[in-house]
Structure 1
Amino acid sequence: MFILHHLNSSRSQRLVWMFELLKLDYEITVYQRDATTNLAPSSLKAIHPLGTAPIISHNGNNIVETGAICEYIVKEAKDTTLIPPKEHDDFVNVQFWSHFAEGSFMPPLVTSMVLNKGIEKASPFFIKFVVKKFVEAVINAYFGKAVARNMSFVEDHLEGKQWLVGNNITVADIQMSFGLEAMYNAGKLADSPNMTAYVERFQSEPSYKLAMKKMAAAEKAAS
């Protein structure tokens, strides 16, 4: 059995979807973010020294980093649908999107979010004003441009496509799902019809619906 060490409101939800897609036997152990810092609790360090989620435990192994976890699960499940064999034409593209999700797509999104939260926490007013101007300058100079570039790239790629690679769901879709859904929920895809349709498409998948239902139930039971 796979044990998923899941942090509430985190990208580890992607692995719940993966387990459902592969119909694997798994459990969800929920950890709650610190109410003040919004960081992971120190109890996760008992599972892995990094103390970050997601982590999976399986056959004596504790594995971190979603890309590595996905590859481990596929190997253990002996699956060739979510990650095709290396000789398959789609293998390189699936690998690209899996690494693009964490290496290029998520970092500027997360950094922009953290910087904007810094504005909210700044006080008194004159300090907040200075912080706001500084953050806006940084975002406009780099992170905003990186987000816009990435969004345009994904939007163009999805033109005429159902899934990111090929005709079926792959790890590429699992990896990209969290960031795109976050943008969708924040109303940032209003002018991006391809990404909007894509998010609504995977949200309507029975495996995704079941995964989110099970994750919500586990979080509720742990709260």
Structure 2
Amino acid sequence: MLTVHHLNQSRSQRVIWALEELSLPYEIVRYQREKSMLAPEALKKVHPLGKSPVVEDNGLVLAESGAILEYLQETYDPDGLLKPQEPTQKVQYRFWLHYAEGSLMPPLLMKLVFSSLGKPPVPFGLRTLGKALGKGVEKGWLNQQLETHARYIESHLASHSWFAGEHLSMADIQMSFPVFALLARGGIDNLPHTQAWKKKVEMRPAWQRAIQKGGPFTLPGE
């Protein structure tokens, strides 16, 4: 049976969602974030990087959510329910699978870091300077980067029901974490198609089951 090493409020939520969409049996091993919001040391016993998600399948240990989702699709989705077959859509599928972590997540993570420089655990005497530095970076560069990403995604979803065509695919599952984070942290208005996509995700029975099993899914800023 598949085992998901699941860290609360993390990328592993989308792996649980994928397993629910595929109706696969699995078990969850749960981990809670430390006060620092980092993963506990116990995860390093499963995989040297100590990150989540990690999936075990018949002795195989897999890390990195994109690689896990591709493995699940190739191994347990023979009918191609979660991968488009039309050539143009397959190109989009591959693009969004990689874009999610390669392009979109880095500025979102930077947004989280720079917006936290005026708060604990930053030493009290440095918080005023940290807050000013964070706001300066956000205003001078970071917010514009996120705006560019948000408008790009919004434009794509204006003409596509899902990220890789007319049906849900692993590309949508991979994009769920950064898009939810973008809507929560980005401070960007007028994204009706992106918001509509998010609502469609939240209405899916498999997503709802994943939330029930994986726990509440919220992100800082929501």
- 1:190·1:196 contact (CA, 8 Å) conserved in 2? no
Partner Cα separation in structure 2 for residue 20 and residue 216 of structure 1: 14
- 1:155·1:195 contact (CA, 8 Å) conserved in 2? yes
* 2:89 matched residue in structure 1: 90
1:16-35 pair list within 5 angstroms = 16-35=16-35
- 1:4·1:57 contact (CA, 8 Å) conserved in 2? yes
1:1-223 pair list within 5 angstroms = 1-35=1-35, 37-79=36-78, 80-84=80-84, 88-121=87-120, 122-124=122-124, 127-185=126-184, 188=187, 190-216=189-215
Partner Cα separation in structure 2 for residue 188 and residue 215 of structure 1: 27
Partner Cα separation in structure 1 for residue 157 and residue 77 of structure 2: 29
Letter in 1 for 2:64: E
Question: CA-to-partner distance for each residue in 1:43-94, whole Å, 9 max, x for gaps?
Answer: 1111111110000000111111111111111121043222245x73321110
Deviation at 1:134, TM superposition (A): 1.2
- 2:5·2:54 contact (CA, 8 Å) conserved in 1? yes
Between 185-194 and 40-49, report the one with greater CA deviation.
185-194
Partner Cα separation in structure 2 for residue 189 and residue 3 of structure 1: 37
Give SS of 2:83's match: coil
TM-score, length-normalised on structure 2?
A: 0.89
TM-score, length-normalised on structure 1?
A: 0.89
Letter in 1 for 2:7: L
Q: Which runs of 5+ in 2 are unaligned?
A: 217-222
Give SS of 1:133's match: helix
Deviation at 1:187, TM superposition (A): 8.2
Closer/same/farther in 2, CA of residues 28 and 183 from structure 1, 3 Å limit: same
Give SS of 1:118's match: coil
- 1:184·1:199 contact (CA, 8 Å) conserved in 2? no
- 1:33·1:40 contact (CA, 8 Å) conserved in 2? yes
Deviation at 1:132, TM superposition (A): 1.4
> In percent, how many aligned pairs have the same letter?
35
Between 13-22 and 88-97, report the one with greater CA deviation.
88-97
Kindly report the root-mean-square deviation, in angstroms, between the aligned alpha carbons of the 2 structures.
Answer: 1.9
Closer/same/farther in 2, CA of residues 170 and 196 from structure 1, 3 Å limit: same
Moved over 6 A (4+): none
Partner Cα separation in structure 2 for residue 118 and residue 174 of structure 1: 31
Deviation at 1:190, TM superposition (A): 4.2
Partner Cα separation in structure 2 for residue 89 and residue 128 of structure 1: 49
Give SS of 1:30's match: strand
Partner Cα separation in structure 2 for residue 95 and residue 44 of structure 1: 29
Q: Which runs of 5+ in 1 are unaligned?
A: 218-223
